[in-house]
Amino acid sequence: EVRPIFKRNGGKCRAVNLAYDKNPDFDFYMVIDSDEEIVEGAINQLFKKVTQYLQDETVGSIYFWRDMNNDLEMKKRFMNRPNGDCIQNIYGRKRNDKIYGDGAIGYYNRFLKKYHFKEFEGENFIGEITILLEAALIGYADQVVYVDSVISKGSYSKLGLSAQGRKLRIKNPYGMIYYSAMMQSNKMRNWRINAKYMISAQAYAWISHIKKTDLKVRGISASCLKWWAVIPGIIVGEYWKRI
């Protein structure tokens, strides 16, 4: 059964929230983007993996591979994907891990029942990884199964989220400050990575004249705005405005 839900565009994460709110009784929710299509045998692969981990309460989501043919870096990661399943929360994943790529993520009911993507009025973009970071901090259903199954393929759209880059992020400063705050919370990353997101938070705050009191009202930890990152943040913010 295909049942479309129509709403004004509010971004991908808000769409996932709405889909769950209107259909709260399914076991699993798979997200497929508009610039990809499922491959032959995808449904069987999906059913197999969802069933395999259905009773494991520690598992909240499953990461499937997708083959995006117009991105050389992602193509390289796709070709070097590991064999077999790897289970860990998002804190265990680093940029240089072979399992890192741009996959299609699906969520169990137990996960979306507890976690929703943050929504900020007037904004329609936030990093999808934030919900997995929230789960890792709380420790409930925080394990992600990275499988070697390929369920979709496609090409990045020139109008898609990936192609819009920094301009899209600047238009959604609260979402990006929240994203930066959550990335700072990852204690397993090295200090260089944490510093990067501390400076990013200040850069977005500078561009949009956002203060700590503005963050508190929207449920964002003001501690993500570090005093030492103000000057580097201004420099980065001014650079972003010019690219």
Model pLDDT, residue 130: 93
The 10s digit of each residue's pLDDT in 14-41 is 999 999 999 999 999 999 988 888 999 9
Q: How far apart are CA 28 and CA 197, in angstroms?
A: 32
Q: Which DSSP letter does residue 214 get?
A: H
Q: How far apart are CA 100 and CA 66, in angstroms?
A: 12
The owner of tokens 């393929």 is 153
* CA triple 127-130-135, angle to 5 deg: 160
Tokens standing for residue 112: 């979306």
Tokens standing for residue 147: 């499988």
Residues pairing with 67 in the sheet: 153
Model pLDDT, residue 102: 64
Q: Are 71 and 191 in contact, with CB atoms under 8 Å apart?
A: no
Give every residue of the chain whose pLDDT is below 70, as ranges. 69-82, 93-102, 156-164, 187-189
Model pLDDT, residue 23: 95
**In sequence order, what DSSP letters do the residues of 32-85 get, joined into one string?**
--TTEEEPTTHHHHHHHHHHHTTT-TTEEEEEEEEEETT-HHHHHHHHTPPSS-
Model pLDDT, residue 159: 60
Model pLDDT, residue 13: 94
Model pLDDT, residue 34: 83
Model pLDDT, residue 124: 92
